[in-house]
Amino acid sequence: MPELPEVETVCRGLLPILENAILQDVVVRQRNLRFPVPKNFRQKLLFRRVLTVRRRAKYILMMLDDDDVIISHLGMSGRMTIYPAGEDVPPPGRHDHIEFKTTTGNLIRFSDPRRFGFMTLTSTQCLKEHKLLRNLGPEPLGNGFSGPILAASLKGRNTPIKSALLDQRTLAGLGNIYVCESLFGAGISPKRKAATVQGTRAEKLVQAIRVVLTEALVAGGSSLHDYVQPDGKLGYFQNCFKVYGQEGKACPGCHCNFLVTGGIKRISQAGRSTFYCSRKQR
């Protein structure tokens, strides 16, 4: 599933195309996505101006001039593809579900083979309290995230720190890949009880999360499975993974004999694969 860096990269790709653009046409070919597309979706959006595009957690928010907001999620395999004006547009395929065409001729196509993604509508006034957004934790790259704030949210929680970080109520936008990478960067075992990540540990974890996400954004996200950027380019942060998917290999800077120690280990936590170094992460 696309995580914060991938969704942020999509938003940054859509922004110069959609900001202040007027929607000349909206085509809905498939309404049965993760949540049904609202029946009045096309009628509500025709000739509306998109004021801006921004991200909250793993959601794409398109703010409109009538105070409506499109909330979009890429699901497991969704993607947004931009076709600039004048460029040949391939005929829609069976997985191409929604299209936006602007008055300047640009076209944005939402595709999703698994149909776990969705698009829905709300208003600016209701956005913060929308059921999808109201319980989200702080943004990890925002000013509202710090060591003390993270420590407070983890206090008294006996769940493993890996599971706590995947909980979107703790922190918005992180998924399996970036949690594994961040825990490695902070030297914290994914099996450690969340409640014990306090003080210096919490500060180190916050810094590691910021570093990992910033590097991933520079790389355009991680292109695993279905993810590509809106212009069709692949992100390349997967080439920088230190532990994720590296089972049996030596972790960066490791001086032990990984042929003896077994190197990076993979365990299952809550049905997800966790990758970590048992020597460096405590």
Q: Is 2 a catalytic residue?
A: yes
Catalytic option among 55, 56, 58, 201: 58
Catalytic option among 266, 272, 279, 280: 272
β strands within the chain, DSSP E: 23-28, 50-56, 59-64, 68-73, 79-83, 96-102, 107-111, 118-123, 265-269, 272-276
Residues 6+ apart with CB under 8 A from 263: 246, 247, 248, 249, 250, 251, 254, 277
Compute CA 261 distance to the chain's CA centroid, rounded to the nearest angstrom: 33
Q: Is 272 a catalytic residue?
A: yes
In three state form, how does the secondary structure of 207-226 look? Answer: HHHHHHHHHHHHCCCECCCC
Q: Is 58 a catalytic residue?
A: yes
Catalytic option among 2, 5, 140, 160: 2
The residues assigned a catalytic role are 2-3, 58, 272
